[in-house]
Amino acid sequence: MDASESNRLHGIFTPLLVPLDERDRINEAEFRRFVSWLIEHDVHGLYPNGSTGEFTRFSPEERRRIVKVVAEECAGRVPILAGAAEANVKETIAACEAYAEMGVRAVAIVAPFYYKLTPESVYAYFAEIARNSPIDITLYNIPMFASPIDVPTIRRLALEFPRVIGIKDSSGDLAFMMRMISAVRPQRSDFTFLTGWEAVLVPMLMIGCDGGTHATSNVVPEITRRMYDLSRSGDFGTAMQWQFRILELFDAMLNQFEFPDGFRAGADLRGFHFGRGRQPQTKTQRANRAVLSSVLQCILADFELVESPAAGCPVRTGDTTLDAVKPVVIDVMHELKKRGVF
């Protein structure tokens, strides 16, 4: 490995959830405790102000405070990749300047959202930021929410701007990742490729990805780290066994809750108090959350990370919707037995 390769960002970066108190304010004490817990559980880096951190639901001042708290608590123990996307280029550059002063390693900037832009406009957006940023930049491609960044644009930015040091891709598309690596790495061996889709973490590492930013690492940091280490050691067989196991947890947290509330529920089960997210919920949604949390608890109990629910865990089918109903049936049967109905 040459010097440029060793300087690449690598490993598991946690896109940080943000705990809130009863008054909907950032719970800084709990946030600091959570940051240190993640570092102690061997994540490679921290990623505040990402999609999992609900960055669009915080004010610019809150986003900067989030990064400030993370930088203070981290104290140089692991690198920080801070989300710096704002409403326009001028404000994004200002965020880059602020985070550079806080000592973060690099910033991640999502492609423009709301307005669907052409590849030329996406290039112009990132080029303007790269010319003026005092800190290294990773591109953030999440085509389900923002203008996609195509391979020719990624290659163009990588070759023209040394400040652009990598990309986080949340498409989950293996072939797209292979095309990016093939187009860029021969000319930029220092360029970082991160996946943002843990459902394919191990396959992405197999094809040359450097790591990932994974919401699941908020809940099971030791498992995502294990998958990375096994892959790096070449033990892809064992790594894939863990990939299949974590897929059930990922699907349950992603598909059965409003994103990212399932991940907040999972982190609560690890001993933290995240409170409600900024997105309002109905009574029905709050009731469903309690039921679904018992499914998550059973999955985490299988990982031997938490205790099983008092009522026990039914055999799971792999269908997270059906599995969510079973704990309700068990609770009802348990209550009926207590009342002597049968």
> Half-sphere exposure of 23 toward its Cβ, with a 13 Å CA cutoff?
3
Instruction: For 66-81, write each residue's pLDDT tens digit.
Output: 999 999 999 999 999 9
Long-range contacts of 244-248 (CB under 8 A, 24+ apart): 245/302, 245/303, 246/198, 246/201, 246/216, 246/220, 247/199, 248/299, 248/316, 248/318, 248/320
Pairwise CA distance, residues 141 & 168, whole Å: 6
Q: DSSP 3-state assignment of 141?
A: strand
* Cα–Cα distances in angstroms (integers) from residue 149 to residues 126, 130, 313, in the given order: 10, 15, 43
Pairwise CA distance, residues 167 & 11, whole Å: 14
Element (H, E) at 316: none
Instruction: For 223-279, write each residue's pLDDT tens digit.
Output: 999 999 999 999 999 999 999 999 999 999 999 888 999 999 999 999 999 998 888
Backbone angles phi, psi at 165, to 5 degrees: -105, -5
Crossing angle of helices 261-269 and 236-255, rounded to 10°: 110
| Domains assigned to the chain | 3-236 (3.20.20.70)
Give the amino acid at 163: R
Instruction: For the sheet with 164-169, list strands across it.
Output: 45-47, 11-15, 211-213, 192-195, 164-169, 137-141, 106-110, 81-83
Backbone angles phi, psi at 70, to 5 degrees: -65, -45
Pairwise CA distance, residues 263 & 251, whole Å: 11
Produce one character per residue of 112-128: b if its CB has 16 or more CB atoms within 10 Å, e if not.
Answer: beeeebebeebbebbbe
Pairwise CA distance, residues 213 & 141, whole Å: 12
Pairwise CA distance, residues 31 & 27, whole Å: 6
Pairwise CA distance, residues 271 & 275, whole Å: 12
Total residues found in the chain within this entry: 342
What stretches in the chain show pLDDT beneath 50?
A: 1, 3, 325-326, 328-329, 332-333, 335
Would you state the pLDDT for residue 5?
A: 59
DSSP string spanning 57-108? Answer: GS-HHHHHHHHHHHHHHHTTSS-BEEE---SSHHHHHHHHHHHHHHT-SEEE
Pairwise CA distance, residues 303 & 59, whole Å: 37
pTM of this structure: 0.90
